[in-house]
C-alpha cells in the first residue's frame, strides 16, 4: 500500500466533500463571498471548487446518503453559522463515514494499484 486511507481521506475525500458543500450553498442562492465567509475559506477557494479545479475527483452526488447529509449541513451552516472548527469536525466525521461504508475503496484502488478492495477491510473494520 503506497497511499494510506488517511491520505486518501485528506487529499481526496475531504476536498470533494467541501466542494459539494459549496455547491449546495450556491444552490441556496448565496454568492461566492457569502459562502467563503460562512465556511471560513477564501473566495478564491470557493471559485476553484465551483469551477471543479479543486475537490473534483470524487463525485459525492453518487452517494445519496452522504449528499443528503451535506445538503442538511449546508442549511445548518446558513442558519447557525458555526465556527470553522465545527465545520471541519463535521467534514472529518463525514469523511470517516464514507471510509467506513466502503465508498472510497474503488477510488483508493484507482490511485494505488497495490490495493485490492476485495481483500482490504481496513476502513470497514476501523470506521464501519
pLDDT of residue 34: 98
Per the rule left: phi > 0, alpha: psi between -120 and 50, beta: everything else, 123 is: alpha
Closest CA to 58 of 13, 102, 26: 13
Residue 32 pLDDT: 98
d(CA 23, CA 33) in angstroms, rounded, equals 13
Hey, how many other C-beta atoms are within 10 angstroms of the C-beta on 53? 11
- Give the pLDDT mean for 90-105: 97
Q: Is the pLDDT of residue 105 over 90?
A: yes
Contact 127, 99 (CB under 8 A): yes
pLDDT of 89 higher than 90: yes
Q: For residues 73 and 55, what is the distance between their CA atoms, to the nearest angstrom?
A: 18
Cell numbers 477564501 correspond to what residue?
Answer: 42
Per-chain mean pLDDT for the chain: 97
Q: Which residue has the cell 451535506?
A: 70
With a cut of 90, say whether residue 1 has pLDDT above it: no
Q: Which pLDDT tens digit goes with each residue over 14-61? A: 999 999 999 999 999 999 999 999 999 999 999 999 999 999 999 999
pTM higher than 0.85: yes
Q: pLDDT exceeding 90 applies to what percent of the chain?
A: 98
Q: What one-character DSSP code corresponds to residue 118?
A: T
Q: How far apart are CA 76 and CA 66, in angstroms?
A: 15
DSSP string covering 11-61: IIIHHHHHHHHHHHHHHTT--HHHHHHHHTS-HHHHHHHHTTSSS-SS-GG
Amino acid at each position: 500500500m503506497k497511499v494510506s486511507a488517511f491520505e486518501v481521506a485528506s487529499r481526496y475525500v475531504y476536498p470533494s466533500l467541501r466542494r459539494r458543500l459549496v455547491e449546495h450553498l450556491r444552490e441556496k442562492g448565496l454568492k461566492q463571498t457569502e459562502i467563503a465567509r460562512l465556511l471560513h475559506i477564501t473566495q478564491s477557494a470557493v471559485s476553484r471548487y465551483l469551477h471543479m479545479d479543486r475537490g473534483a475527483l470524487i463525485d459525492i452526488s453518487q452517494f445519496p446518503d452522504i449528499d443528503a447529509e451535506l445538503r442538511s449541513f449546508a442549511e445548518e451552516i446558513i442558519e447557525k453559522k458555526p465556527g470553522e472548527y465545527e465545520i471541519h469536525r463535521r467534514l472529518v466525521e463525514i469523511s470517516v463515514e464514507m471510509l467506513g461504508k466502503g465508498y472510497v475503496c474503488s477510488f483508493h484502488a484507482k490511485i494505488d494499484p497495490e490495493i485490492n478492495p476485495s481483500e482490504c477491510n481496513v476502513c470497514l473494520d476501523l470506521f464501519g
